[in-house]
Structure 1
Amino acid sequence: MNAMTRTFSASLLALALQAGFAAHAAQPAATAQSAARTATVDGDHVVTADGVRLYYKDWGPKDGPVVTFSHGWPLNSDSWESQMFFLASRGYRVVAHDRRGHGRSSQPWDGNDMDHYADDLAAVIDALDLNDVTVVGFSTGGGEVARYIGRHGTARVKKAVLVAAVPPLMLQTDDNPGGLPIEVFDGLRKASLENRSQLYLDIASGPFFGFNRPGATPNQALVQSFWVQGMQAGHKNTYDSIAAFSATDFREDLKKFDVPTLVVHGSDDQIVPVDTSARAAAALVDGAELIVYPGAPHGLADTHKDRLNQDLLDFLEK
């Protein structure tokens, strides 16, 4: 794969990384909630009703206000460590799990779709008996948060935060003409099968952190961290997730948000463009607050971590 091809493939995958699975027929709410309630805790894992083991971190004082973090593709909960350390040090209880198929969680062959992702978040929240939770989601994790509220409601939710998130819809459809064509995602699947290790390096060293912009100095530590997290995930799971984040329609989910909501995005996000994601999402959530970071890339949780940390704290303390 030559440099031009790698750059093109990286841009394709980078753009499609995050959007959401072609909506499987949603389970009835009662069924979804029942499945979440049957989850159990086994050490540092939550075991779901279908036997998937979800690794989770639970930092900070156990009596502190609760914040959950849902990560992006193909990463894991380690990608939130700056925000988790910052908030836990200030009295918050912060909980983050590795999505099924990612990080230290199980790698099931099936169920790699947004409905299962949302139900897994519900399983963690219910198994740990978390209440008055601020649910935070980055990129694909923002879709997970949106589908969680769409399927499980806000009985346990106090606030919501979408960071560089994929909702409302990434895929181009008749009623979403501004989305990306299916050929983009087909190209991503092809690139993932050919050499996903190279793909992750290309994404991290290019558009994810904005290192492909003129004058930018790539940070190899961030590139390596992205690659390591990506390679910990299952091949089949990350492959399926390309469909999961590219075709899930979150528009109806967003309309069900009835809690204070913060939307944060970078103006130079080359992966999830701000106009078709954050601005559109904020317009669908009644009373949502939108903050756009000038010049920030998709990976702003690292490149702009100090500002994001403070904005999260300010929102939590309102």
Structure 2
Amino acid sequence: MGYFVEVEKGVKLFIHDLNPAGKTTIVFIHGWPLSHKQFEYQFNVLPQYGVRCIGLDWRGFGKSDKPYFGYDFDRLADDLRVVIDQLGLRNVILLGHSTGGAIAVRYMSRHQGQGVSGLVLVDAAVPTGIPPETANSIIDQTLNDRPNMLIDLTNQFFFQYATRAFQQWFVDLGLEASGWSTAAIMKLLSEADLHADLSSITVPTLILHGIHDQVIPFSQAEALQKQLPTSQLIPLLYSGHGGFWEERERFNRVVLEWLGLVQQE
């Protein structure tokens, strides 16, 4: 089911809540510039294993409200805290992709991991984001020809072949966002520095990262794993930045194994 949660006066986030009776809860935090819909291929499978899947759209993206201001990691982490508190969530897993991983890390630092028992960081933009020169080019494209920027992004995003129809679906997800929020988050990524946040993470952490990732290089995941003593790194051998789709069967299996919901093969 879908509903809205007001995170501050006049700003509501859209929440996709699948299998509310599930005994294990994962909160899915999408990447830039997408929405909760990017996790369709997890939502298709994980509820069968007793997982409650909660996907939220950040402010400015998907079906959520799109204020002109409020696009920094503290505000995005605070939005997540309101959702967790209002839904009364406890012992949840935060699964964050790319920028969503950075939001999850800031949440753990800023809110002392309230209600969270584990992290799954997927191609995470942690502890740094996008080089400023790359970000500036993307911002310029966003403010002048956003559809074409999203087509270029799609070509860079995936290692495996994606059909024309799938590529169009992916572009359409990005077009649900506003132009100003799309540009603001890219500027945020160009300035990202979450090194100081990592010491706050003491919960078990699963790192999934495509070895062919052209957006956040695999070497960054290797460095991240060394900084998180409670983490496990699983390389996705046939993925770029989109392992949640490119290796969806293995991706889902690894998450379920890590949660202890299926036996390891």
TM-score under structure 1 normalisation?
0.79
Q: Give yes or no for contact 1:168–1:280 (8 Å, CA) kept in 2.
A: no
Partner in structure 2 of residue 262 of structure 1: 206
* SS of alignment partner, residue 56 of structure 1: strand
* SS of alignment partner, residue 154 of structure 1: coil
* SS of alignment partner, residue 8 of structure 2: coil
Partner in structure 2 of residue 298 of structure 1: 241
Identity in percent: 33
Partner in structure 2 of residue 130 of structure 1: 89
* SS of alignment partner, residue 75 of structure 1: coil
Q: Give yes or no for contact 2:159–2:238 (8 Å, CA) kept in 1.
A: no
- Per-residue deviation, residues 191-232 of structure 1 (Å, max 9, x unmatched): 11120111101221x110126xxxxx4412221111111111
Q: Distance in 1 between matches of 2:14 and 2:232?
A: 31
Amino acid at match of 2:252: N
Q: Which has the higher strand share?
A: 2
What is the RMSD computed on CA atoms of the aligned residues?
1.5
Partner in structure 1 of residue 250 of structure 2: 307
Q: Give yes or no for contact 2:125–2:216 (8 Å, CA) kept in 1.
A: yes
CA-CA distance at 1:67 after TM superposition: 0.8
Aligned residues: 260
Give the unaligned 5+ runs of structure 2: none
- Per-residue deviation, residues 167-193 of structure 1 (Å, max 9, x unmatched): 01135xxxxxxxx3x222221211111
Partner in structure 1 of residue 138 of structure 2: 188
Cα distance change, pair 218–81 in 1 and its aligned pair in 2 (3 A) = closer
Which deviates further from its counterpart, 260-269 or 149-158? 149-158
Are residues 1:237 and 2:165 paired? no
CA-CA distance at 1:63 after TM superposition: 4.8
Higher RCO, Cα 8 Å, sep 6+: 1
Q: Give yes or no for contact 1:251–1:284 (8 Å, CA) kept in 2.
A: no
> Highest Rg: 1 or 2?
1
Are residues 1:74 and 2:18 paired? no
- Per-residue deviation, residues 220-275 of structure 1 (Å, max 9, x unmatched): 22211111111110111101011122212111112110100000101100111111
Q: Distance in 1 between matches of 2:18 and 2:63?
A: 17
Partner in structure 1 of residue 5 of structure 2: 46
Q: Distance in 2 between matches of 1:68 and 1:59?
A: 11
Q: Give yes or no for contact 1:135–1:157 (8 Å, CA) kept in 2.
A: yes
* SS of alignment partner, residue 118 of structure 2: strand
Amino acid at match of 1:223: Q
Q: Give yes or no for contact 2:202–2:230 (8 Å, CA) kept in 1.
A: no
Residue of structure 1 aligned with 2:226, choices 276, 283, 289 = 283
Q: Distance in 2 between matches of 1:56 and 1:288?
A: 28
Q: Give yes or no for contact 2:26–2:92 (8 Å, CA) kept in 1.
A: yes
* SS of alignment partner, residue 217 of structure 2: coil
Amino acid at match of 1:295: Y
Q: Distance in 1 between matches of 2:208 and 2:17?
A: 24
| Structure 1 segments (4+ residues) deviating >3 Å | none
- Per-residue deviation, residues 252-306 of structure 1 (Å, max 9, x unmatched): 112110100000101100111111x211211111221001112311111111111
Q: Give yes or no for contact 1:59–1:84 (8 Å, CA) kept in 2.
A: yes
Cα distance change, pair 49–61 in 1 and its aligned pair in 2 (3 A) = closer
TM-score under structure 2 normalisation?
0.94
